Amino acid sequence: MLSADAMPALILPLIDAAAHWPERGGLVGLDLGTKTIGVAVSNPDRRLATGVETIQRKAFKQDAARLLAIAAERKAVGFVLGLPINMDGSEGPRAQSTRAFARNLAGLTTLPIGLWDERLSTAAVERELIGMDVSRAKRAEVIDEHAAIFILQGALDRLANLRATSGPG
């Protein structure tokens, strides 16, 4: 919980959020579904995303408490939320719901929240799992966690690419 004098977390596009994260420290990646939240974390060097769990959504406060506990356990320095943007670049109800979740989460933490375009992440993961011959029932269990890995890894790769092209300060 935030102390009374603490400012809520910043919510920014990924690239802008990265400027507010320390040089090292893990990130928590989230794929917000209507019934579940897929959770992934990165290593402190932000090279590799790994799945943590799939949270069955209950009430926001319970969900947020679990996410903040994961962030604390992993000593994370920020969150990456997949933002489901439509193929034409517009934002529909799911994107608005994600932004609302981010605003609510920001009120409970000071960890900056980066929004990352997650177009096609669930579809890509579904294809990958089908290609690995994972049963439909098993896919349903792991799809959100795998989508969170896909989202976070995409964000990590984008940040690494930016560091490589911009070079040292």
The phi and psi torsions of 168 (rounded to 5 degrees) equal -65, 140
Q: Rounded distance, CA 54 to CA 114, Å?
A: 20
Determine the residue type at 120: L
Q: Rounded distance, CA 120 to CA 95, Å?
A: 13
Is the predicted pLDDT of residue 143 greater than 80, yes or no?
no
Q: How much is the average pLDDT of 15-28?
A: 95
- For the chain, the structural domain boundaries read 21-78+87-164
pLDDT tens digits along 76-134: 999 999 998 887 888 989 899 999 999 999 999 999 999 998 776 666 667 777 787 87
**51, β-bridge pairs:** 40
Q: Rounded distance, CA 53 to CA 60, Å?
A: 17
pLDDT-derived band at 164 (thresholds 50, 70, 90) equals confident
Q: How much is the average pLDDT of 36-59?
A: 96
Per-residue model confidence (pLDDT) at position 128: 78
What pTM value is reported for the model? 0.87
The percent helix, strand, coil of the chain (3-state, each to 5) is: 45, 20, 35
Per-residue model confidence (pLDDT) at position 165: 80
Q: Is 24 exposed, middle or buried (0-12, 13-18, 19+ CB in 10 A)?
A: exposed
Q: What is the CATH code for 21-78+87-164?
A: 3.30.420.140
Q: Are the CB atoms for 152 and 80 separated by under 8 Å?
A: yes
Is the predicted pLDDT of residue 166 greater than 80, yes or no?
no
Is the predicted pLDDT of residue 67 greater than 60, yes or no?
yes
Q: Mean pLDDT score of the chain, rounded to an integer?
A: 88
Per-residue model confidence (pLDDT) at position 133: 82
